[in-house]
């Protein structure tokens, strides 16, 4: 089965998710949240911004859950580059910053939303996708035969 064939329990195209966080315990928690969210499917996990870019190239996820503070390339820079590399992929920044304390460049990245890690759950993920993600995602490309 290829990634384009991922379907939700309702038979719809599943929203494919890449998790990018340098902490294994949060990747585990995020995987559990995504797994508990109807219509979403984790297709990869990475522990750095640079690896997130590589996985976006190879996996073409619909959504990236991106930690802000990581060694090397941080999540804000990775989100900006993902937006340039693959505009169809939506990025949600996920961190422990209060929304009022986000780094200034977080607002100018291509991220569609910010989620505080303590508030991250299936309902919020679904709501944010409906408001900020689904409208930006283009339908899968279809070939037309003559």
Residue 144 lies in a domain: no
Asked if 110 and 80 count as a contact pair (C-beta separation under 8 A), the reply is yes
Residue 39 lies in a domain: yes
CATH code at position 44:
3.40.50.2300
Residue 80 lies in a domain: yes
**Count of domains forming the chain:** 1
Residue 145 lies in a domain: no
Per-residue pLDDT of the chain (146 residues; tens, 9 = 90+): 344 445 444 446 899 999 999 999 999 999 999 999 999 999 999 999 999 999 999 999 999 999 999 999 999 999 999 999 999 999 999 988 777 666 666 666 778 888 889 999 999 999 999 988 765 543 333 333 33
Q: 125 is in which domain, residue-wise? A: 3-133
pTM over 0.85: no
Residue 143 lies in a domain: no
Asked if 20 and 59 count as a contact pair (C-beta separation under 8 A), the reply is no
Residue 69 lies in a domain: yes
């Amino acid at each position: 089965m290829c990634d384009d064939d991922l379907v939700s329990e309702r038979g719809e195209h599943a929203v494919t998710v890449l998790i990018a966080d340098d902490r294994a315990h949060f990747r585990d928690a995020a995987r559990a949240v995504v797994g508990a969210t109807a219509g979403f499917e984790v297709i990869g996990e990475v522990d750095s911004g640079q690896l997130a870019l590589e996985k976006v190239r190879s996996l073409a996820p619909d959504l990236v859950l991106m930690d802000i503070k990581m060694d090397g390339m941080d999540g804000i820079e990775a989100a900006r580059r993902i937006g340039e590399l693959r505009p169809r992929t939506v990025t949600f920044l996920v961190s422990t910053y209060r929304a009022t304390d986000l780094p200034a460049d977080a607002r100018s990245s291509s991220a569609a939303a910010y989620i505080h890690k303590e508030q991250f759950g299936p309902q919020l993920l679904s709501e944010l996708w409906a408001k900020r993600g689904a409208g930006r995602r283009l339908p899968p490309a279809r070939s037309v035969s003559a």
